[in-house]
Amino acid sequence: MTLSFGGKVWRLRAEPLDSHRQLAKASGLQELFSGILAHRQLETPQQVEHYLRPLLSHLTDPLEMKDMDKAVDRLVLALESGESCAIFGDYDVDGVTSSALLYRYLGALGNPPRIYIPDRLTEGYGPNAKAMQTLANEGVRLVITVDCGITAFEALQVASDIGLDVIVTDHHQGREQLPQAVAVINPNRYDESFIHKELAGVGVAFYLVMAINRALRQRHWFPARCQEPDLKSLLDLVAIGTIADVASLTGMNRPLTSTGLRVAASPVKAGLCALMEVAGLRGGMNAGQVGFQIAPRINAGGRLGQGSLGAELLITNDPERAGEIAAILEAYNQERQAIEKKITQEAIQQIDSMRQVDQPLGMVIAAQGWHPGVVGIVASRLAERYHRPVVVLGMDEAGGGKGSARSIPGLDLLAAVTVCEEYLLAFGGHRAAAGMTLKPGSLAAFTSAFDRAVREQNSPEMFQPLLPVDGTLEISLVNLELAGRIERLQPFGRGNPEPVWILKNVRLMDARILKDRHLKCMLADPWEAVMDAIAFGVFPGVLGTEMVQTTGRLDVAGTLSINRYNNREKIQFIIKDARPAQG
């Protein structure tokens, strides 16, 4: 087993069959796309067509989801009678965009709801009894939860007892028991047969809006009572929330996010325009920019105790107010980055202080005083660095703690956490991420139990860092047409990874180090065909050092991109890893 300079094994993502090669040819694609079709389990020309041209007409009927009809009936009743409604949203980007989406839609119908975003630090995740009582005291009669609620049994029982009707919309894994509610809409509820489990919370909220809109159209609301809202204009919110939540960009998420990113290319929402301004984005955004530039700024307020700011930003139509909020969130984001950097460094020191033989496969890292609003980001950084599922806990003086966990590809994190539930006051999440509250005095027992669960549920091979690759490319065959076809596979993300290609037997030419961090070079194959290439953030580090010091030929793995500058297009290879040439 040969390791790369980056310490990884390169493994073909999927081995195509002859049928995939024939399907690629029939779809007008080069043979190298056959592995991509195999990995995405595309088996028919129609599936390939839907994948390459994701359209809103491909969306499944929202009434296929359980309780959708009940939710629509109750909401229509509220709209017809002018009842006071509230949205209870989570404080992350998925919850905030879901809240803004429903607010904008119901507001366009003349019934703008109250938005309630809980304080991460004092209220924690999900509906709570005190919040339900507050809303009831304000005269609210109907509450719609977004991106939360599926396990809020106590809070929603209180809501029912005080006369509040609740519609739950969520996407987190449900249990056999359902909360007390008029309707529970969740593709991942225990008894749900709806096949599109990939929807984020904002996708579920959009499905509810589609169903309501159809019902109102059938009741001749439009244009008798108001103009019919433009549902497509809400899809920028769906795209941002879906990508930020790292939902799989497959199935129904593909038409939702691809259309939403096109809507975002010409932003009209004052808040989104302000966000793009502070992020330095021009002419729209791609999935990577949403994940690394837009989402962290929306999230920043919620992470530091001002969760309502993100929702206010996305519902305001006042450019001046939007600019003020964006500036506040930018400052919060910088503060968050500083806190995150400090905690990450302390966590790395804690892990590296363990003897190598004692390092667990399921890592639990904890310290008193760690900010609970940023431990999820720290967990992501550590999971990527050590290729282990990681729980990061901010401990309190009583010996309890609040934390977040992040997984590695292929490992079911929620299954491991569930085994440890006797040590937790509360928990929830899905395969890739989870949140939890630790019982006082349970850290040592939870740490052992989590590591044991991870070991028992997974094979040792799961923990070998891998670089999945999609095939081999010849430099001489690369052109703008090929790069453009690969671009058509966007948006890239979980479930739809950007294709990684191997260039074999190449040598580095004209290598230059940029800003002490990046490697800029040319790659030449044995026949002297050349291509521009860059490796980002490889200095200081083994990968950058080995590449510039190796005198022989290399195999280089990376992605193809089109570098657009001054109305010119040029192909560039983005280097992810390298190893001595394998022949």
CA pair distance 378, 389, nearest whole angstrom: 12
pLDDT of residue 532: 96
Residue bearing tokens 């073909």: 12
pLDDT of residue 357: 60
Phi, psi of 582 (to 5 degrees): -95, 5
Question: What are the tokens at 293?
Answer: 């530039």
pLDDT of residue 373: 82
Long-range contacts formed by 343-347: CB under 8 A, 24+ apart: 343/367, 343/370, 343/371, 343/374, 343/375, 343/378, 343/392, 344/378, 344/381, 344/382, 346/370, 347/378, 347/382, 347/392
| Residue 167 exposure: Cα atoms within 13 Å on the Cβ side | 26
pLDDT of residue 61: 97
Enumerate the domain spans of the chain: 58-234, 354-463, 466-580
CATH of 58-234, one of 3.30.360.10, 3.90.1640.30, 3.50.50.60, 3.40.50.970: 3.90.1640.30
CA pair distance 149, 42, nearest whole angstrom: 34
Q: What CATH fold (topology level) applies to the domain 354-463?
A: Diaminopimelate Epimerase; Chain A, domain 1 (3.10.310)
Beta strand spans in 113-217 (E) = 114-116, 142-146, 165-169, 183-185
Cα–Cα distances (Å) from 124 to 16, 431, 433, in that order, read 46, 21, 16
pTM comes to 0.90
Map residue 550 onto helix, strand or coil: coil
- Longest C-alpha distance within the chain, in Å? 77
CA pair distance 98, 81, nearest whole angstrom: 24
pLDDT of residue 355: 62
Q: Does a cis peptide bond (omega within 30 degrees of 0) precede residue 491?
A: yes
Residues of the chain with pLDDT under 50: none
Tell me if 58-234 shares its fold with 354-463.
no
Beta strand spans in 390-484 (E) = 390-395, 401-406, 424-429, 433-438, 466-469, 471-473
DSSP class of 10:
E
Question: What are the tokens at 318?
Answer: 């006042």
Handedness of CA 145, 148, 153, 155 (dihedral sign): negative
Map residue 122 onto helix, strand or coil: coil
Sequence-distant (≥ 6) Cβ neighbours of residue 194 within 8 angstroms: 60, 64, 65, 66, 187
pLDDT of residue 352: 86
Amino acid at 59: L
Cβ atoms < 10 Å from Cβ of 250: 16
| CB-based contact 407:458 (threshold 8 Å) | no
**Partner residues linked to 184 by β-bridges:** 168
Amino acid at 339: I
DSSP class of 386:
H
Q: From the DSSP assignment, how many helices (H) and strands (E) are in the chain?
A: 20, 18
| CB-based contact 367:346 (threshold 8 Å) | yes
Q: What CATH fold (topology level) applies to the domain 466-580?
A: OB fold (Dihydrolipoamide Acetyltransferase, E2P) (2.40.50)
Sequence-distant (≥ 6) Cβ neighbours of residue 202 within 8 angstroms: 94, 97, 98, 101, 146, 147, 237, 238, 240, 241, 242, 245
pLDDT in tens, 231-277: 999 999 999 999 999 899 999 999 999 999 999 998 899 999 999 99
